[in-house]
Structure 1
Amino acid sequence: MKMNTTGRTSFLPRRLAARLSGSQAAASWSRPVVQIATAGVALGIALIIAASAIVHGFQSEVRDLVVGFGSDIQILSRDLQHQHVILNREVEQRVVSMDEVKSIHPFFTMPGLVQSAETLEGVVVKGIGPDTYQDMLEQSMKFGRVPTLTSSDSLVLSQELLSQLDLELGNRVTVYLIGGPTGMRPKTLTVGGVYETGLLEYDASFVFIPQGIIQQMAGWGLEAQVRITPNSEAEALVFGASNPVRFEWTGVNAVAERVPLSWHGSGPHDLKEVMGFQSVELVVAPRSVGQALAADTVWLRPSDAGWEAFPAGGAWRYRASGYEVFLNDHSNLGVSDEAIYAALPLGWGTETVLEQAPEMFTWLGMLDLNVEIIIGLMVLISVINMTSALLIIILERRSMVGMLKALGMTDGQVLRMFFWQAVRIIGRGFLIGNLIGFALVVLQQETGLIQLDPKAYYVDVVPIRIDLAYIFGIELLAFIICAASMFLPAWASMRILPAAALKLKN
């Protein structure tokens, strides 16, 4: 009966490779070379892990800071005459209900100037309030606190601006808001807080104040009030208008019919003329349709004590520069942008963080090239080290190869034997490199051992972000390249002639 030896012979190269890498390797004079090659592979893998974790961590930290100043996606008005949006709860609910959206907040910004006794700096003034995004600012506070509704004369500026303006916490400073009906309006505020993110380009540009100041000074809407005199006369007062406005007086009579009144202008008007009416409504609106000011309303209602005024509180309260949208997954920015845009009213648009700061993200993208160069160099060095080591191993085992060939082993089996021996060495190097690399990055992630100068690097410690899928993919590709490259030096074993090898041994 003929025995099937195909299975045995197919595993023979691996078994011999395992024996050569095991007990026999300890007595081999090529052992130091193998150890050096293993160390080289391990060092390369450790550097690949560290480089990818640091670069991805740096990209993530800087991106989060940029997003903290401006969000992933901003919703803006595309109307050149009305560069603000009307706060719309329906739109907010529509956007926040999307799976990819984490949160949505109104934002309020104006260009401005900050003036101290000696210095004047151009800044972006951003409003903060109960509904605005403040997480980044609160996490970056060094001194003081974020302004609240009870501290409406307070502002927060960066440590960089504080030094440039030669100010201290509690100092008074004048902020000029540029724009609105009057062009430029000053507001004296108190330095109530100091923040520092390390992103100096943004730290030197952003100042935070209560949102109500921006809403009022931006000229996004009129504010109407009615003063009722002791003689029962109603006189309209208007704030926030630099151009003529019109006054529309309407009454609601005893049978709940709306009746236009013959009153013209701000008054005063005699309320005795509307005796018996349920209410009087005043709408103050810009006289010109093209003006960017929104109308405001005041209601007058009779009571036992006489007529009382109930103002809406100013149309500016319901306006904002736009909305800030924060996403759960930054990688789907383009898809999320299209979905949000489709949910917006006519005349509204979107702008992604990539469009807000293209130069910053172009630079961050170029950092990937550094990682790719490091990976390429480490793989090349590993291949060179392993090629040298394998050639030395083949040279040492030359007589053994001759004997194996004399006993009937084919050239292909000899080649595979040395190939598998090289693969085992590479695998050992990868294992050691992973242990060292992950130990180093986890140590840095947990302790922040290596410190940095934020003025030069934007962050105060070396940031770490471990992307296991990315590292696994890179290591798999590197392993395949290194292993495939070993066929070339292993091919040298095929040129060994049994007679010459055995003669050399004798």
Structure 2
Amino acid sequence: MNIASFIARRLVFQRNQSFSRFIIRLSAAATAISVAVMILAFAFVEGFQYTVSSKVFSFWGHLRVQQQQSSVSGLAEELPVEKNDTVYNSLKAHPNVKLVDAFATKSAMLKTSETIEGVLLKGVDKQFSKERLQPFMQEGKWLEFDDSVQNNQIVISTYTAKQINAKVGDRILIYFIDNNSTAPRVRPVMVSGIYKTGIEEYDKTFAIIDMNLIRRLNGWSNTQIGGYEVTLNDYRTDYKTNNELLDELPVVWFSTPLREIYPNIFDWLALQSTNKTVILIIMCIVAVINLISCLIILVLERSRMIGLLKATGATNSQVQVIFWNQALIIAVVGLTLGTLLGLGICWLQQATGFIKLDESAYYVSTAPVRVLWWQVLLINVVTFVVSFLILFIPSLLVRKMSPVKALRFE
């Protein structure tokens, strides 16, 4: 029988009311709260990064491949390029490429009888992977493509719909500025659907139409496009994949990661990783200081017991092991309770979404949660290992206590 472990368990799980029992419970609770906070911080940060980046990538893909244009912003209208089977097949052949969709953009004004609103039209064709944008549809339906008739449908954002006071089924006018004409050209369209991404840069800017309308207005042929949107299997390898694709593309083609086009969003997401690391360090320090303080108090309160054990022949090391076991039991109980508490709150948030957010500021209306089990394990292992290493400090007090003074200690 392990005497040190037996005594430690008796001290931790004693039933009588005492100051040491209160300290043990307080220490276990503080450790549990620290672990729960770390799990929640990791889960919420991971949820933010995954959800927001998924929204950004769903609308535009991970890479944008188009003809090289000097001194042109990422949201400007593109120069027309011919659909290129060599380029398309080269993109699709890459093992990390999931989808390749053609697109084109054009600036326009949407007008109703009451007001007018500027937008950037995003043209897509019938091969476009609509499942990318389907989760954002709030009302109505996606564009219907029929080669035999002219498609006069448009999908607008909830923001644009509110600005021009339009709803599904309404007919609105699109005004296009033509550089070769003094008067704008007008095209009537019907609102087939309304979308909402929650990302202000998208909702305030884009409306989606059939690419053929852009082709007719720009005088392009039926085989000309603005470029390709490339969706990857693993977004974390976007820069690596982009460099690999650049080596395969013709000279006049260029590929750009979306993270370079919208750096403000991704810089904000990267900042969350820094916050996550800071929280992990702070909570580890809190848990360690808590265990050290607890062990010092327990050692001082059990001075008479220490003196008695030494007087009956126990060595310093044997007495130290008692308090190590005691502190480790407290740490394990705290880690277990903290893990259950943290995961429980995460599950509750996933089930109910009770934590609400300002969507205009955070891009989501409820705090997203994404639990990665390796992160939960990392939190527990790091906290346990650091606590175990630090426990040596307060246990040194045991070596400095003489049996005579300890037995007289009040």
Structure-1-length-normalised TM-score: 0.73
Tell me by how many angstroms 1:90 deviates.
Answer: 3.1
Q: Which residue in 1 is equivalent to 2:208?
A: 208
Query: Could you tell me whether the CA contact under 8 Å between 1:154 and 1:189 is conserved in 2?
Result: yes
Secondary structure class of the residue paired with 1:30? helix
In 1: Cα distance, 2:177 partner to 2:339 partner: 56
Tell me by how many angstroms 1:317 deviates.
Answer: 1.4
Instruction: Look at both structures and tell me which one has the larger radius of gyration over its CA atoms.
Output: 1
Which of the numbers 53, 67, 73 marks the counterpart of 2:43? 53
CA distance 1:132–1:431, change in 2 (3 Å): same
Q: Which residue in 1 is equivalent to 2:93?
A: 97
Per-residue CA deviations over 1:432-452 (Å, capped at 9, x if unaligned) read 111111122123223434444
Equivalent residues in 2 for 1:132-151 (5 A)? 132-150=128-146
Q: Which residue in 1 is equivalent to 2:59?
A: 69
Tell me by how many angstroms 1:85 deviates.
Answer: 2.7
**One-letter identity of the residue aligned with 2:125:** G
- Percent identity for Structure 1 against Structure 2: 31
**One-letter identity of the residue aligned with 1:108:** A
Q: Which residue in 2 is equivalent to 1:111?
A: 107
Query: Could you tell me whether the CA contact under 8 Å between 2:171 and 2:191 is conserved in 1?
Result: yes
RMSD across aligned positions (CA): 2.6
Equivalent residues in 2 for 1:126-165 (5 A)? 126-150=122-146, 152-165=151-164
**One-letter identity of the residue aligned with 2:45:** V
The answer to whether 1:20 aligns with 2:11 is yes
In 1: Cα distance, 2:35 partner to 2:64 partner: 41
Secondary structure class of the residue paired with 2:98? strand
**One-letter identity of the residue aligned with 2:133:** L
Secondary structure class of the residue paired with 2:166? coil
Per-residue CA deviations over 1:3-28 (Å, capped at 9, x if unaligned) read xxxxx9xx764554344334x47565
**One-letter identity of the residue aligned with 2:39:** I
Tell me by how many angstroms 1:147 deviates.
Answer: 1.7
CA distance 1:497–1:197, change in 2 (3 Å): same
In 1: Cα distance, 2:5 partner to 2:108 partner: 74
The answer to whether 1:423 aligns with 2:328 is yes
The structure whose residues are more often helix, as a share, is: 2
Tell me by how many angstroms 1:350 deviates.
Answer: 0.6
Runs of 4+ in 1 over 6 A off after TM superposition: none
CA distance 1:472–1:410, change in 2 (3 Å): same
Tell me by how many angstroms 1:375 deviates.
Answer: 2.4
CA distance 1:358–1:47, change in 2 (3 Å): same
CA distance 1:181–1:67, change in 2 (3 Å): farther
In 2: Cα distance, 1:475 partner to 1:116 partner: 59
In 1: Cα distance, 2:251 partner to 2:362 partner: 42
The answer to whether 1:217 aligns with 2:189 is no
Q: How many residues align?
A: 400
In 2: Cα distance, 1:178 partner to 1:73 partner: 29
Query: Could you tell me whether the CA contact under 8 Å between 1:110 and 1:178 is conserved in 2?
Result: no
**One-letter identity of the residue aligned with 1:433:** G
**One-letter identity of the residue aligned with 2:43:** A
Secondary structure class of the residue paired with 1:123? strand
Q: Which residue in 2 is equivalent to 1:168?
A: 167
Query: Could you tell me whether the CA contact under 8 Å between 1:215 and 1:319 is conserved in 2?
Result: yes
Q: Which residue in 1 is equivalent to 2:30?
A: 40
Tell me by how many angstroms 1:394 deviates.
Answer: 0.8
Equivalent residues in 2 for 1:217-366 (5 A)? 217-219=217-219, 221=220, 316-366=221-271
Q: Which residue in 2 is equivalent to 1:85?
A: 81
Q: Which residue in 2 is equivalent to 1:272?
A: none
Query: Could you tell me whether the CA contact under 8 Å between 1:451 and 1:462 is conserved in 2?
Result: yes
Tell me by how many angstroms 1:171 deviates.
Answer: 2.8
Q: List gaps (5 residues or longer) in structure 1.
A: 1-7, 222-315
In 2: Cα distance, 1:139 partner to 1:379 partner: 39
Tell me by how many angstroms 1:75 deviates.
Answer: 0.7
Tell me by how many angstroms 1:325 deviates.
Answer: 0.8
Tell me by how many angstroms 1:365 deviates.
Answer: 1.1
Tell me by how many angstroms 1:168 deviates.
Answer: 2.9
Q: Which residue in 2 is equivalent to 1:263?
A: none
**One-letter identity of the residue aligned with 1:89:** D
Which of the numbers 422, 433, 436 marks the counterpart of 2:341? 436
Q: Which residue in 2 is equivalent to 1:385?
A: 290
The answer to whether 1:474 aligns with 2:379 is yes
Per-residue CA deviations over 1:270-329 (Å, capped at 9, x if unaligned) read xxxxxxxxxxxxxxxxxxxxxxxxxxxxxxxxxxxxxxxxxxxxxx21111111111111
Tell me by how many angstroms 1:482 deviates.
Answer: 2.6
Per-residue CA deviations over 1:401-439 (Å, capped at 9, x if unaligned) read 112223443334433432232122111100111111112
The answer to whether 1:414 aligns with 2:332 is no
The structure whose residues are more often strand, as a share, is: 1
In 2: Cα distance, 1:113 partner to 1:174 partner: 8
Q: RCO higher in 1 or 2 (8 Å CA, sep ≥ 6)? A: 2
Tell me by how many angstroms 1:39 deviates.
Answer: 0.9
